[in-house]
Amino acid sequence: MSSGTWQSHHAITTLMYRYAECIDAADFDGIASIFAHGRITNEGVEGEIAGPDAVRALYTGTNRVHADGTLRTRHLTTNAIVEIDETAGSASARSAFVVFQQTAELPLQPIVAGRYHDAFERAGSEWRFASRHILVEQVGDVHEHLSFDLSAFMDKR
């Protein structure tokens, strides 16, 4: 791997991990910033969420923020496979995720697992998200995490 490709790989995976850090901290402005030029889609859901205001509204409207100001979650992104085209200034990544949560009502446990399919673009010397497609594959008890019943959505897929 060339030094340029290594630097790009690091920048891209840092974006992926920054997303997880922001969501756990309920930093919806941070997530909006990460997707300022990108869009989010979800498997089985029509349409896309594009631009920082729409992304912020999505996360603000669907996540439960607890008394400590966080979601009381730990989003882990693993098994990242990143493919980079330095010449074109584009990249793609596939990864797995699992979300753990513990609250006063809920013991520590995995609550959601799935995959991300991401696209990135280079703007000048900086990498940024172009898109993130979320594939939710397994759902546990998300009542302390989300403001809607994700398991009911999964039954319709």
For residue 45, what pLDDT is reported?
86
Reply yes or no on whether the pLDDT at 14 is more than 80.
yes
Res 44: pLDDT: 85
For the whole model, what pTM was predicted?
A: 0.91
Which of 22, 30, 24, 5 has its CA nearest to residue 85? 5
- The structural domains of the chain, ordered by start, are 3-155 (3.10.450.50)
Q: Is the pLDDT of residue 60 over 90?
A: yes
Pairwise CA distance, residues 51 & 94, whole Å: 22
b/e code 87-122 from CB counts within 10 Å (16+ = b) = eeeebbbebbbebbbebeebeeeebbbbebebebbb
> Residues 71-92: what's their mean pLDDT?
97
The shares of helix, strand and coil residues in the chain, as percent rounded to the nearest 5, are: 30, 40, 30
Report the pLDDT averaged over residues 124-137: 96
